[in-house]
Amino acid sequence: MNQPMMDCRFLLRLFEQTGSSMNANLKGKVAIVTGSTSGIGLGIAQGLAQVGAHVVLNGLGDANEIESSRKALEAYGVKALYNNADMTDGAQTEQMVHDTVKALGSVDILVNNAGIQNVSPVEDFPPEKWDRIIAINLSSSFHTVKAAVPYMKKAGWGRIINLASAHGLVASPFKSAYVAAKHGIVGFTKSVALEVAQNGITCNAICPGYVRTALVENQIKDTAKARGITEDEVVKNVMLAAQWTKKFVTVEQLAGVALFLCSPAAENITGTSLAVDGGWTAA
């Protein structure tokens, strides 16, 4: 599902006002954002383009909508490409990284964001859905990182940002595959961070609470079915019950966190999982 362009200029002003170490000027850097044809990924791609990074979009969806998202990024004066690599296919996923370097000269920022969900009791969980969730939400990041790290090491700079989830830190019932994959990505983040710590590369996870994207709209329906409650009850009593602010996290807030992780102020932040969850995992 395509989404309106968001305005990250307030972030730029914030960075400008708070001094140069916070300045996420990424002019000329090259970023890949997996799963960026909608939701959080598209928002992060927009944020990166607004501070000067060339961006490779990736993901599924309507070709016309993807093309209009790509063109909208170019309006920020950066290069924007679309790569249709399927994140269930390791070879295609790695090739996307090599194609990016061929086309744009480097890969400096890698945002592993593609993700899917399935809500079901474990005994009824379809094995093919388990495999697909593990492939897209976990293994695709292994493939992008494996391909990107040699380029980043050579450049002496890199930023790897993995979109995990509050479900990378705590569990909920009926989401066994998603919780397993997200806990996995948090561990993967730590291990990679240690390996590349002396190469100017950081690797961090962002752990959002609920954000009202297509992924969550579908979950509202499925969770209502799995728990035998109404959709309104899912929002109030399941999703926002866990978020102490009683507010959904926004795509703009997550783009801001991603830009911060690319800024000089975050040079020594690596191997962490940044919870952006309205207090959910503090309780």
Amino acid at 24: A
- 11, 24, 37, 223: residue in contact with ligand NAD (rule CB under 6 A): 37
Q: Is 278 in the site for ligand NAD (CB under 6 A)?
A: no
Least distance to ligand NAD, CB of residue 89, Å: 8
Least distance to ligand NAD, CB of residue 52, Å: 23
Q: Are 22 and 15 in contact (CB under 8 A)?
A: yes
Residue of the chain from 61, 187, 200, 271 that contacts ligand NAD (CB under 6 A): 61
Q: Does 91 bind ligand NAD (CB under 6 A)?
A: no
38 in contact with ligand NAD (CB under 6 A): yes
Distances (CA, A) of 73 to 13, 48, 52, 65, 170: 19, 9, 10, 13, 35
Report the nearest approach of ligand NAD to the CB of residue 149 (Å).
20
Identify which of residues 15 and 82 has a Cβ nearer to ligand NAD in the complex. Answer: 82
Distance in Å, CB of 46 to ligand NAD, minimum: 13
Summary count for the chain: helices (H), strands (E): 11, 7
Residue 210 catalytic? no
Sketch the per residue contact string, 172 through 211, with ligand NAD: x for CB under 6 A, - otherwise.
Answer: ------------------------------------x-xx
The reply on whether position 86 binds ligand NAD by CB under 6 A is: yes
DSSP state of 88: T
213 binds ligand NAD (CB under 6 A): yes
Q: Which one of residues 2, 23, 25, 88 is an interface residue with ligand NAD (CB under 6 A)? A: 88
Catalytic annotation, pick one of 76, 82, 178, 210: 178
Question: What whole-number distance in Å separates Cα of residue 21 and Cα of residue 155?
Answer: 21
Residue 275 CB: number of other CB atoms within 10 A? 21
Torsion (CA) 266, 270, 273, 274 in degrees, nearest 10:
0
| Residues paired with 32 in a beta bridge | 56, 110
Q: Supply the Cα-derived Rg of the chain in whole angstroms.
A: 18
The CA-CA-CA angle for residues 156, 188, 121, to 5°, reads: 150
H or E element in which residue 110 lies: strand 109-112
Active-site residue numbers?
178
Q: Which residues bind ligand NAD (CB under 6 A)?
A: 35-41, 58-61, 86-88, 113-116, 136-137, 163, 165, 208, 210-211, 213-216
